[in-house]
Amino acid sequence: MAGTAKKTGFPGIEIHGRSIRVDFMYKGVRHRHTLGVEPTKNNIKHAARLRSAALFALKSGNYNEAEFFPHSRPSESVTEGKRLGDLCERYKPLKAVDITPETQSRYEIALNICVETVGRNRLIDTLLPEDIQQLRADLISTRAVSTVNHYLATFSGFLYWCENNGYCGELGKHCVRFAKSNKDPDPLSFEEFQALIDKGCLHPTDRAAVTLAVYTGLRPGELLALALEDVAEDLSKITVRRSITQSVTFKVPKTNKERSVLLFPPAREALEVLMAEAEQREPDNLEVWLNRHESRIDRVRVLLSPKTQARRKVVNDYFVPSAWNSKWANLVRRAKIRPRPPYQTRHTYACWNLTAQGNLAFIANQMGHKDFSMLVNVYARWIDTESPRELDRIWEGMQNMAQNAPNLPQIIAA
């Protein structure tokens, strides 16, 4: 009992019966361990050093009770608290049922980094907002803002789960994301596009693929998963039904629904080239994942295949985003234009359409956006808000309305 303990002159070091006992508090949790060694002067000094080392390990997030006190009964910290790492391992499979395996892999990487940074052996009910703020500071010191924000968003989901299950107080709200500057799109100019086609692309398939990307605004994964069976017989439109991921997994498009894209003449010409090649191949059964638990089978011939220009005997059946990135980089290098990622072909489509004063709702629908608010936010400087041509077009429309509706005010009909 505590009443029988004798002081030793060292803080938290007591003589308990014929042994030495180490005692300390950390964030409201008592740690008390009997070492089972005789209370000699040397052993007491050793116990004091052990106590200091244990406190330091707790504060730095590297405390493992079994390593410091292997012969002691578990302290109150083990029986009353929950370790961060243990809770995270319980959370992962519960979260996994709602996300795809590829997303699960990215989530687990983010969670592991955050847990290790805070301290896997830390007790969840002893964490303070200060600990989360320190996590933010540690992450941003060596990583890009976009990466850190992904980690924080993932970790906050775990902390909210802990809160909802009563393991800790409010911590998730302190995973505040960092402000990120919005980089303007960097579309191809028409001259750069022409250089890319004339100088960068040495094979008709490459010219057709780049042309199709620019004149449809497809996301790279959608472009690489486009199939012969997705093209209308009259070449008036394509239907975007799937996308391909880095792990050669086919999934539904980003919005989880199909969309039709009407085709400009250059896109139709490009499709004729790609379709002629695809018609030579046998259809494949592609498993397209609708969510983690459901999939469908599409029996189709994908338009772009690495085998078309392959020099090696063993190549993949389909392009994945990283392979397309490498091909694109070679095309850009040969064309001697400013380097930019292949996603800029999508931005090029948007900017060219907006510069030509296309209808915002139509463009947003073509690109698969829910509404045109994203166009306004992302491509604002390509939207001409003071165009005399637009004024003339509106005025012409108003006059047509007036001619067909004589009851309108005469000032319009004049």
- Identical fold, 84-174 and 196-370: no
Q: In this structure, are strands 284-289 and 250-251 parallel, antiparallel, or unpaired?
A: parallel
pTM equals: 0.69
With helix as H, strand as E and coil as C, how does 209-252 read? HHHHHHHHCCCHHHHHHCEHHHECCCCCEEEECCEECCCCCEEC
Q: What is the DSSP letter of 284?
A: E
Burial of 356 (0-12, 13-18, 19+ CB in 10 A): exposed
Confidence at 3, pLDDT banded by 50, 70, 90: very low
Percent with pLDDT over 70 in the chain: 90
CATH code for the part of the protein at 196-370:
1.10.443.10
**Residue 69 in 3-state DSSP?**
coil
Q: State residue 411's pLDDT score.
A: 45
Q: State residue 390's pLDDT score.
A: 65
The pLDDT tens digits of the residues spanning 355-406 come to 888 888 899 999 998 878 888 888 877 876 555 666 677 677 777 776 776 5
Quick check: 2 pLDDT over 60? no
The pLDDT tens digits of the residues spanning 51-106 come to 999 888 888 878 888 888 887 655 444 444 588 999 999 999 999 998 888 889 99
Report, in this order, helix, strand and coil percent for the chain, each rounded to 5. 50, 10, 35
Q: State residue 231's pLDDT score.
A: 97
CATH code for the part of the protein at 84-174:
1.10.150
Quick check: 412 pLDDT over 80? no
Q: State residue 7's pLDDT score.
A: 84
Domain ranges of the chain: 2-80, 84-174, 196-370, 384-414
Q: How much is the average pLDDT of 263-289? A: 95
User: Which long-range contacts (C-beta less than 8 Å, at least 24 apart) are formed by 138-142?
Assistant: 139/113, 139/114, 140/178
At 177, list the tokens. Answer: 């994301």
Closest Cα partner for 80 from 125, 112, 50? 125
Beta strand segments in 241-343, E: 243-244, 250-251, 259-262, 284-289, 295-300
Report the interhelical angle of 204-216 vs 321-335 (nearest 10°): 100
Q: State residue 405's pLDDT score.
A: 65
Quick check: 413 pLDDT over 90? no
